[in-house]
Amino acid sequence: MVGPLRREEAVALVARGGAIIPRMSFNLVEKQVLYTGKKIRLEVHHLEDETNGKRTQREICVHPGAVVILPFFDDKTILLIRNKRYTISQILLELPAGTLDRGESPMNCAGRDLQEETGYLATRMKPVGNFYTSPEILTERMYAFAAFGLQKSNTALEEGEEIEVFSVDFADAVSMIRDGQIQDGKTIATLLMYERFFAQS
């Protein structure tokens, strides 16, 4: 059970998107950049607690953000992909997704990555929601979209990508979460958000 806020905590509360979120009470003393790659930057942040002066550090993976797309052929049928993931040595069932380029809007990224991974263009995109994928260590914010009015085009896979596209009933895809066939977090979150908040609208 969460107890009452101390006065200094109450003063630090800020409103964001209709929710009340406590403000962080740490000052950044020093930032070390350990590695800069094509998509991520690894940093160590040295922090000081404003309330008691204690020092601590956080290991952070800085990410530009990404999109995940739920493509609909019709009211009941969606596209999924079989994606070979080297990091875990498995082939996962996923929704199409991709990383934001510098200065790119999430909706433009969603349209681009849908075509690159599936070979389909969408005539309409609908925002589904957004979420942080692993906020303890990763800054990545994922933007989810539903795509409609698909038109056949060409794929443009990145070097090393091995992707197979297939169609499935939306209800069956949700059942595949329960059965453990779908284990990708962004795919699970997007399918369940759409089922909960949009499928009946």
Residues annotated as catalytic (active site), given as ranges = 159
How distant, in Å, are the alpha carbons of 10, 22, 97, 135, 175 from that of 4?
Answer: 9, 13, 41, 25, 41
Q: Residue 133 phi/psi, 5° resolution?
A: -80, -35
Residue 130 DSSP code: E
For 54, the token pair is 């204690």
Query: Whole-angstrom Cα distance, residue 171 to residue 149?
Result: 19
Query: Whole-angstrom Cα distance, residue 66 to residue 98?
Result: 6
Torsion of CA 4, 22, 131, 1, to 10 degrees: -10
